[in-house]
Structure 1
Amino acid sequence: MEITHIPAGTLPESEIEDTVAEVVAFDRVVNSASGLGPDFDPRSAEVRRQLQRTNDYTTHALWLGRLGGDIVAKGIAYLDLQDNQNAAEIHVAVHPEHRRQGLGSELLAVMEEQLAGEGRRTLTSFAETPAGVVDREPRTARIAAASGTGALPSALPEVAFARAHGYSLRQLERCSVARIREVGDDLVGGGEVAADGYAILTWAGPTPEEHLEALALLQRRMSTDTPGAADLEEEEFWDADRVRANDADREASGKRLMTALAMKGDEVAGYTQAAHFAERPAVGDQGGTLVIAEHRGHGLGARLKRANHATLLQESEVERVYTWNAAENSWMLAINDLAGFETYAWTSVWKKITT
């Protein structure tokens, strides 16, 4: 197998569109085989961004494995540049017709070696499995997550592959879907100060200047306050400039963001974000949700999500919103249930420290 390493920004402009088309076609076949459905299909704008764009905070690297000129395996790494510079989030996929031939192992070995050469030896990865697949064989042997909550059948291909290459199952996340247009009349937007003193502000698009510092604070807390964060990464550096850069990067990739921010007077209490895409107008992806510890117990998580869903109904064609939460994060899962979410898939979180 011929393997090509493509760090972001290194591919000649003349080759980008052909590569985007090839990668999107490959990813679509892989997703079809996963059983997750077309809502999880690749987006060409996102692939293009991964090939073209980088900024002062994050970048990407792509590996393409070819046989006879055709892509048969793909790897990608998401790389932080200001923090967690010893770490990488990686993903490996093999075309369904070429599995069980050692191609994934070959590609992963190349990726790990090149990332280690850059000082990135703490590797994390994620795999998505439909809930029906996980539940199909309730009595089969299972591998428990190190977080203490949840387990996966050990015979699942993604589980067997990760374990065979030294990755440990750190955590399970529940992927849930809310069908917001079916409950649209029950959603209440933000705006007014509630009786308990909290106001929920909502907006579409980039963060307004007056809220940049609030979002930077919440993003820093997201990297430390969510379940499992300490096991997977260091505290992230966020300031107003990074929020601006992150918003610009999302806009460039075709991602339109909806944000709800909870405030009590001048005090930041929490936020949630969701995105939708022109290429997939009926589907929204839930971004981060956090209520700062000292403001919990007031139902803010559900209020934030429902207010944001009301904004999505007003500002977009979104019909379904997907969200991901740690299985041990029972309080957020309860919030999701209140906000109308139901289980769709399970996401396994894997970690390895290479030598």
Structure 2
Amino acid sequence: MHIDALDPTDAAARAVWHDVMERSVRADRPHALVTTPAAFEVTATSPSTHYDRTWLRATVDGTVVGVAELELPLSENTDVAWVEVQVLPSHRRQGVGRALWEALIERSRAAGRTRIGGEVTVDVDVAGAAHDFAVAMGAVEKHREDHLLADLPVRATPVDPAYEVVSWRGRCPDEHRGAYLAMRNQMNADVPVGELELEAAVVDEERLAASEERLMRAYDVRVAAARRRADGTFGGYSLLFVPHGTDYGWQDDTLVMPEHRGHRLGAALKSANYADLPPEVTSVHTWTAPDNAAMHRTNTAMGFRVVERMYEMEAAVRG
């Protein structure tokens, strides 16, 4: 077995890496939300100034049988390395995952990182080895979320008459950018992280613009925001991604600013986004912490059901 780094300039190698990743994930996760080839191409060929990424391969007799990703934050949380490890079912329990993990640890240590973390997701009905593998590598659970799925259409929630819905696709219009930045940063400050000790990302105009440009190359980006009629103040937003060429969307942020809560704006904004989707989009994915009772009730009322459990795991990088 040989471990090496993917050459991100090699299109054929990128395609093989993504294929192995997707087949490994889907082997025991029928409801998995996997990065599309188009999205992976953007990430692999257009490096971000806020993250340094490396993709590793495990090969046996010249065939790629396992892959891993290493993401090193450069702007916040510079003591952390985020990782993923995937191995084809035919080569599991043969040391491939452990070899990739050890390579990730070595690179994380060399980059001065003291913690290594990542998401481990398991299907609620199909037995999978991902969580057991993470524990065997010394990782401990720090946060948990449910992965929920809904078939469209969902039950609609009307917006409170005191508010109007303002929607856009792709780049946020100039006239809304100040309010949108304030809400994005409130979301980053409020997002549940369990026992993870993380510094919230701060989004400024430059960072927002770069993110929008990259995302639009792989996704139909849709935002629905609530604006109070009385004074024009924005009270919340919901961000939805539809990967190009797919039949599903995935729910990213939904935030209601503290002084605007109690009006069911979160459900109304989600409903507005979903109602505007083209007919070929037939389902939506979302994630909610199991102890977030209010959002769980909202999602269940809209028709979402739990299909997977996602665990945020963390391990120490020892010298």
The TM-score, its normalising length taken from structure 1, stands at: 0.82
Name the structure, 1 or 2, with higher relative contact order (CA <8 Å, separation 6+): 2
Deviating runs (4+, > 6 A) in structure 1?
none
Q: For residue 260 of structure 1, what is the aligned residue in structure 2? A: 224
- Give yes or no for the alignment of 1:341 onto 2:304: yes
The answer (yes or no) to whether the contact 1:31–1:40 under 8 Å persists in 2 is no
Q: For residue 138 of structure 1, what is the aligned residue in structure 2? A: none
Q: For residue 235 of structure 2, what is the aligned residue in structure 1? A: 269
Aligned mates of 1:230, 1:224 — CA distance in 2? 15
**Displacement after TM superposition at 1:239 (Å):** 0.9
Counterpart of 2:242 in 1: which secondary structure?
strand
Counterpart of 1:34 in 2: which secondary structure?
coil
- Give yes or no for the alignment of 1:85 onto 2:78: yes
Counterpart of 1:173 in 2: which secondary structure?
strand
**Displacement after TM superposition at 1:60 (Å):** 2.1
**Displacement after TM superposition at 1:219 (Å):** 2.4
Structure 1 residues 222 and 353: alpha-carbon distance in aligned structure 2, compared to 1, 3 A threshold: farther
- Give yes or no for the alignment of 1:318 onto 2:312: no
Counterpart of 2:116 in 1: which secondary structure?
strand
Structure 1 residues 131 and 241: alpha-carbon distance in aligned structure 2, compared to 1, 3 A threshold: same
**Displacement after TM superposition at 1:272 (Å):** 1.0
Q: For residue 176 of structure 1, what is the aligned residue in structure 2? A: 148
* Correspondence for 2:295 among 323, 332, 353: 332
Coordinate RMSD, CA, aligned = 2.2
Structure 1 residues 4 and 213: alpha-carbon distance in aligned structure 2, compared to 1, 3 A threshold: farther
Q: For residue 304 of structure 1, what is the aligned residue in structure 2? A: 269
Q: For residue 103 of structure 2, what is the aligned residue in structure 1? A: 110
**Displacement after TM superposition at 1:333 (Å):** 1.2
Structure 1 residues 332 and 221: alpha-carbon distance in aligned structure 2, compared to 1, 3 A threshold: same
- Give yes or no for the alignment of 1:353 onto 2:309: no
Aligned mates of 2:300, 2:293 — CA distance in 1? 10
* Structure having the larger proportion of residues in helix: 1
Structure 1 residues 333 and 188: alpha-carbon distance in aligned structure 2, compared to 1, 3 A threshold: closer
1:1-355 aligned at under 5 Å gives the runs: 1-6=1-6, 11-12=8-9, 15=10, 17-37=11-31, 40-133=33-126, 157-181=129-153, 183=154, 187=156, 194-195=160-161, 197-228=162-193, 231-252=196-217, 254-264=218-228, 265-280=231-246, 282-313=247-278, 317-355=280-318
The answer (yes or no) to whether the contact 1:305–1:339 under 8 Å persists in 2 is no
Counterpart of 1:211 in 2: which secondary structure?
helix
Q: How many residues get paired?
A: 316
Counterpart of 2:126 in 1: which secondary structure?
helix
Aligned mates of 1:232, 1:318 — CA distance in 2? 36
Aligned mates of 2:212, 2:172 — CA distance in 1? 7
Deviations 1:217-266 (A, max 9, x none): 222222221222672421211112211111111122x2111111122334
**Displacement after TM superposition at 1:57 (Å):** 2.5
Aligned mates of 1:96, 1:133 — CA distance in 2? 14
Aligned mates of 2:177, 2:124 — CA distance in 1? 37
Q: What amino acid maps onto 2:249 in structure 1?
A: G
The answer (yes or no) to whether the contact 2:5–2:56 under 8 Å persists in 1 is yes
**Displacement after TM superposition at 1:341 (Å):** 1.4
Aligned mates of 1:175, 1:255 — CA distance in 2? 20
Aligned mates of 1:60, 1:189 — CA distance in 2? 42
Aligned mates of 2:52, 2:187 — CA distance in 1? 20
Aligned mates of 1:199, 1:78 — CA distance in 2? 39
